[in-house]
Structures are given as structure tokens and as C-alpha cells.
Amino acid sequence: MACGLEDPLLEVNQNLYHHLQSKGHQVVMEAWEGSHEWAFWDTAIQKAFAFFAAGGKTEK
């Protein structure tokens, strides 16, 4: 999951993240500067592709 810090849906996404974790799901959530706009999602989709290409492992 990814959401911009200025996105009006940030709180909803954070709540979903915590709910999924509480149900035992392995979920990755990242938030950084940005809003609900293409510039943010362009970066987010690139990170998602890298995540899945690495077998679903986060960078350390």
C-alpha cells in the first residue's frame, strides 16, 4: 500500500493497513510527501513493480 502524506485518503489507508495486519495479513504500507495525483502514483507504481520483481520483499 502507498499513500501520500497530503492525500485526503491517508487516514482511511492507514486504518485499512492496521485492520489487515490485525487479521494476520502481511501488508506493506509506505507514505511519503505527495497527494492523490499522478506524480505520486507514478513513483508508487514503480516501487510496486520493484517490490513484486523482488519476490514481494522490501528493501533493507
CA-CA distance, 30 to 26, in Å (whole number)? 14
Answer yes or no: is 6 within a domain: yes
Work out the number of other CB atoms within 10 angstroms of the CB of residue 3. Answer: 24
Q: What average pLDDT score do residues 8-37 get? A: 97
10 has pLDDT over 70: yes
How far from chain centre, in Å, is Cα 36? 12
CA-CA distance, 28 to 21, in Å (whole number)? 9
Answer yes or no: is 24 within a domain: yes
Q: What is the pLDDT of residue 32?
A: 97
Answer yes or no: is 15 within a domain: yes
57 has pLDDT over 80: no
CA-CA distance, 37 to 7, in Å (whole number)? 9
pTM: 0.81
Answer yes or no: is 58 within a domain: no
39 has pLDDT over 60: yes
Answer yes or no: is 27 within a domain: yes
Answer yes or no: is 14 within a domain: yes
Q: What is the pLDDT of residue 17?
A: 98
Number of structural domains (the chain) is 1
Its domain, for residue 30, covers: 2-53
